[in-house]
Chains A and B, each alone.
Chain A
């Protein structure tokens, strides 16, 4: 596997309709908000999780495409039994002091083994407790928090369930209740949704780090695929409808790059669509417009004229 030899920067635009793209554990699972601007946020780790899940589905255990940081059941339960039989005193493995690699060479071997087998280690990196310079694998792919183009307005939706969790709850309900049967056993719940939000995440792929982890062109294609399809396989009651809408990739002619990343991201402008006319989201005149509720309420323009030499703009979709 030869590593990629170009630096890439990318801008991923995705939308959410009547769903919660990323709940905030600090705010009772409300959609994350930037308190100063009221723009929505989706953390980098949330997006990485979806990429991992997609790769796991797409490659389901193919050699070299395992996922290290997994969710849910382990597919190789059989292996695990064999493993347990081999190491009945697994507890010893946790005493890391004796298990540190002897030298850099061994640490490197461990690292290469992990990179070779696990797609997510190769892509995003991993921290391994090797005790040598933290044994970190820095992955070539780095993502930032996604932030919505305009402020979002989270709605709190109350929902009911026609069942009680347990007997005690049922009793409690019956005591304070003198109405008809229909409300018997009913419990209330809450959902938080964003009616509509268009989010932009920026990402960076370092060719130099790719050399270290062996992140190849094949991996890159798979990664683009994952960005395109990650929401298609992440349907859930909480998510509503999410979709990747646009992926703009800036391919640099060489490994170090040909332009500062921020100038490239500035070439992509997202504004409101007012009767086919582009209006910047800071434009005071859009205050009278109804709130955006669909993707066609936005326009995305790419200023190809200003694209620096040695940078190729690729619209993946």
Chain B
């Protein structure tokens, strides 16, 4: 077990989409462990390590807002790209937005701010020169300087996450004095298993802090 890290993340909006409401997106009340993992991975990640989220502190009241946008209805079809490659001609490959338009509303969080408590574990892929201290140092160095692989986001890429590292000595900012049962929440997606199933957990916010079950614990439901 390596030392944990504590990272404050905040932004103007966030959208941690509920899997059951993906078309007209509705965000969860708080950040999911999988989104938190994504933020940490945006700062530092190697196949040798795996981030594990321990807790999420909610620093700002939970508020929502609706935004409706024109979106494109379809993804780029791989088959069409393949045949265009074969033909060596791009004709018919474009996507016409005004013929394939969907207006969708997203219910997003307003001014979210969190502290992510996490640690990492070494994976099967760790080589001889991978040790926990090294990766922890790299992460801490990067997070302190504001360096990142790509700018992390709060659920979707248009909602940028700003981040700031707390050193082990500093005390954390006050979480909101709010306790509620957040119901079943996405814990993470199992990318190893076929079909990449989602895993859920029963999220309980106690005085603004949500404790996240560890991987493999009985609280993580498939």
Contacts and interface: CB of A to CB of B under 8 A. Distances in A.
Interface of A: 9, 24-26, 32, 34-36, 41, 43-45, 49, 66-72, 74, 76, 78-80, 82-84, 86-87, 93-94, 96, 99-101, 107, 109-110, 113-114, 117, 126-131, 133, 135, 138, 140, 142-145, 147, 202, 204, 206, 208-209, 256-263
B159 A144 contact: yes
Given A99-B77, A262-B162, A93 B92 contact: no
Given A79-B90, A142-B160, A256 B75 contact: no
Contact of B145 (A35, A86, A258): A258
Interface size class of B (residues with CB under 8 A): 35 or more
Contacts of B198: none
B81 A144 contact: no
30 contacts: A9-B151, A32-B67, A36-B110, A67-B94, A69-B72, A70-B95, A76-B90, A79-B89, A79-B90, A79-B91, A93-B83, A99-B79, A107-B78, A110-B78, A110-B81, A113-B81, A113-B85, A126-B75, A126-B76, A127-B76, A128-B76, A129-B74, A129-B75, A129-B78, A130-B78, A131-B78, A135-B78, A204-B150, A206-B150, A206-B151
B95 A45 contact: no
B46 interface: no
Interface string B113-143: 0000000000000000000000000000010
Q: What's the dominant secondary structure at chain A's contact region?
A: mixed
A192 to B, nearest CB: 15
Given A70-B97, A128-B76, A131-B78, A76 B91 contact: yes
A107 B93 CA distance: 17
Given A69-B94, A117-B90, A129-B75, 20 more contacts: A24-B68, A44-B158, A45-B158, A71-B98, A72-B96, A74-B96, A76-B90, A79-B90, A82-B91, A83-B92, A86-B83, A100-B78, A110-B81, A126-B75, A129-B77, A138-B157, A147-B12, A208-B149, A256-B149, A261-B162
